[in-house]
Amino acid sequence: MLGFVLDDIFTSGHRSPSGHPERPARAEAVRDALVAAGIADRGRRIPTRVASDEELARVHGGAYLDDLVKRVPGNTGWLDADTYFSPGTWDAARSAAGSTCQLVTDVLDGALSQGIAVVRPPGHHATRDRAMGFCLLNNVAAAASAARARGAARVAIVDWDVHHGNGTQDIFWNDPSVLYLSVHQYPYYPGTGAPTEVGGDQAKGATINVGLPGGCGDADYAAVFDHVFLPAIARFAPDVLLVSAGFDAFEHDPLAGMRVTHGGFAAMANRLRAIADRTSAGRIVAVLEGGYDLDGLAGGMTSVLTAFARPAEPLPEIAPLPANMVARAAIEGTLAAHAAAGQPIPPATR
């Protein structure tokens, strides 16, 4: 059974300043679309809970958490030029992290098979010791660490947000038990995510970055998945697969320059659902990250629901390498970087 996290705290709790793109309407659009798609009949709602101190301490430094506790609860302000907080932000952020941890734990325990967490504030830019990019606590990193604490030997995180998840990469840079894979617009905010960023000395090959040029669309993303991500995930054989599901690569998103359609997100979700069946007993959880066009958010997450709530479809034929030579070079650059690091990614197969 599919489990899902939906709660008013992620809209009413974290209130945005006027004109800010990371606004409550984002979660409202996803919630309304999933309700219209019948999520209540296709899964089970997971009660919201705050993250424990232990869950947060696994992925964030004590001094950073202490600073958040002093500055954020009950107050209004900014942690950097992009990242605001309102009186209810601390409860919303802890609930986003805690509920995502609970969802992944329930999937590992067998109470659920797949999961979707519609939470905000987002998390993948939050590093061990810094808030940035609208993010305070790293939800997917907390969930991956919760999975490890629950007994998962290996966890994979696929991040298809248009912005590189520098925070998640930072947290797991030297952890060989967590495979982090990101496809993102590059160069772009936050400036990280080069193909040569392959992991620290203790985890060479456990970080995989494909930085695509602006203007890439469905076919380019399919090629990244088929030639890089799926072979790497199959070799790694994670016990659970997590998805940092940002929808700002959507063709009409105001904060980026990609051309992914609703169908492109469906293709990515279907591929991950299929590889999760092969490697992870179907255990897969998607966590909302970015996405600032409401139609892109609603349609994208509905595609994820459709892929997760039904039996996995067979993988399609291997997508050809992109006709766009810059996109092709990005894929080939990632493959070359991992070969040079002594961790070559296997060739695409079905």
In a domain? residue 303: yes
Enumerate residues 6+ apart whose C-beta is below 8 A from 66. Answer: none
As for how many domains the chain has, the answer is: 1
User: Can you tell me the distance from the alpha carbon of 170 to that of 153, in angstroms, rounded to the nearest whole number?
Assistant: 20
In a domain? residue 348: no
pLDDT at 298: 98
pLDDT at 65: 99
In a domain? residue 334: yes
pLDDT at 141: 99
DSSP, residue by residue, 299-310: HHHHHHHHHHSS
CATH number of the domain at 191, please.
3.40.800.20
Greatest extent of the chain over all pairs of C-alpha atoms, in Å: 53
Structure tokens at 34: 């999933």
Question: pLDDT tens digit string along 113-166?
Answer: 999 999 999 999 999 999 999 999 999 999 999 999 999 999 999 999 999 999
User: Can you tell me the distance from the alpha carbon of 107 to that of 113, in angstroms, rounded to the nearest whole number?
Assistant: 5
Enumerate residues 6+ apart whose C-beta is below 8 A from 151. Answer: 108
Report residue 204 CA to chain centroid gap: 21
Q: Which domain holds residue 297?
A: 2-340
In a domain? residue 238: yes
pTM greater than the 0.85 cutoff: yes
In a domain? residue 272: yes
Question: pLDDT tens digit string along 69-117?
Answer: 999 999 999 999 999 999 999 999 999 999 999 999 999 999 999 999 9
Q: What percent of the chain has pLDDT over 90?
A: 100
Helix and strand numbers (H, E) in the chain are 12, 10
Question: pLDDT tens digit string along 311-332?
Answer: 999 999 999 999 999 999 999 9
User: Can you tell me the distance from the alpha carbon of 250 to that of 258, in angstroms, rounded to the nearest whole number?
Assistant: 6
Q: Which contiguous run of DSSP H or E holds residue 270?
A: helix 262-279
Residue 125 annotated to the active site: yes
Structure tokens at 149: 């604490």
User: Can you tell me the distance from the alpha carbon of 204 to that of 215, in angstroms, rounded to the nearest whole number?
Assistant: 30
Residue type, 326: V
pLDDT at 146: 99
Buried b / exposed e over 35-55, threshold 16 CB at 10 Å, is eebebeebbeebebebbeeeb
In a domain? residue 176: yes
Rg (CA), the chain: 18
Question: pLDDT tens digit string along 213-238?
Answer: 999 999 999 999 999 999 999 999 99
63 CB neighbour count, 10 Å cutoff: 9
Q: What is the DSSP letter of 153?
A: S
Residue type, 160: W
Question: pLDDT tens digit string along 25-38?
Answer: 999 999 999 999 99
In a domain? residue 163: yes
Averaged pLDDT for residues 268-284: 98
Q: Which of 14, 60, 124, 125 is catalytic?
A: 125
In a domain? residue 55: yes
